[in-house]
Structure 1
Amino acid sequence: MNRHELAEALTAAGLPPESFQIAEVHETSPPPTDFWFLRPGSGDGWEVGAYERGQFDVRANFDTESDAAQWMLTTLVGQRGLSG
């Protein structure tokens, strides 16, 4: 699963568009007060976490975009998504 597939899956699951931000795929402006995010991390990895009360809280780091996207989908909607 890549970032584009993740955005489609989260939308299809009924999550409000302002509840998540996915780097270079799904970003709202102005940013909402609280949201989940997936973004490139430092180095070659990926970060997934929550933005709350003006702070980014990285909940997990991954080596691949696919692993990060799958973790975010499972965390937010409680299911396994597309493989790949």
Structure 2
Amino acid sequence: MNRFELCRALRSAGVPEAYYEIQGCPHGPHMTDRYFLEERGGLWAVGVHERGTREVWERFTDEDQACRWLHDRLTDEGPPPEPPTPEETDQLLHGGEGVQRRARETLDQALAEARGRTTEEPRPDDGRTQPPSAG
């Protein structure tokens, strides 16, 4: 595979052109952080352009190897997620009940506090001073 075939293969695979920069291949705007492939002094360099700096991850003497390396990085979705264990499933299904219970308790407490105040009384946390008591 050469770099032009790599460009076509990445487009066919649906990899956004903004994710990579391949020397000699026309494309649209780049992301700030992106993969790159370029020839440097007879070697093919692949790596990441990140925060204005290019970091070479691998160097190849063969264009085909460099192109395949970059293709693999941009098209590999990684292993599928592992299904949760029975314990994790139980936690996911029943752990939410505790969150809901605490949310209801917090809401009930806030409503009770709100009902206990009159409209003239400041909230305890608003920074205003309490009016002087009559008497």
When the two structures are superposed, what TM-score results if normalisation uses the length of structure 2?
A: 0.52
1:12 is matched with 12
Separation in 2 of the partners of 1:28 and 1:57? Answer: 22
Moved over 2 A (4+): 26-29
Matched to 2:53, the amino acid is Q
Deviations 1:52-72 (CA, angstroms, capped at 9, x unpaired): 111101110000111100110
1:76 is matched with 74
Residue 25 of structure 2 aligns to a residue whose secondary structure is coil
Q: CA deviation at 1:11?
A: 1.0
Q: Is the strand fraction higher in 1 or 2? A: 1
Counting aligned pairs with the same residue, the percent is 36
Deviations 1:6-54 (CA, angstroms, capped at 9, x unpaired): 001111111111111110113545x43111100012x211000111111
Length, aligned pairs only: 77
1:23 is matched with 23
Separation in 1 of the partners of 2:28 and 2:38? Answer: 14
RCO comparison, higher one (Cα < 8 Å, 6+)? 1
2:102 is matched with none
Separation in 2 of the partners of 1:38 and 1:55? Answer: 14
Matched to 1:53, the amino acid is R
RMSD of Structure 2 on Structure 1 (CA): 1.7
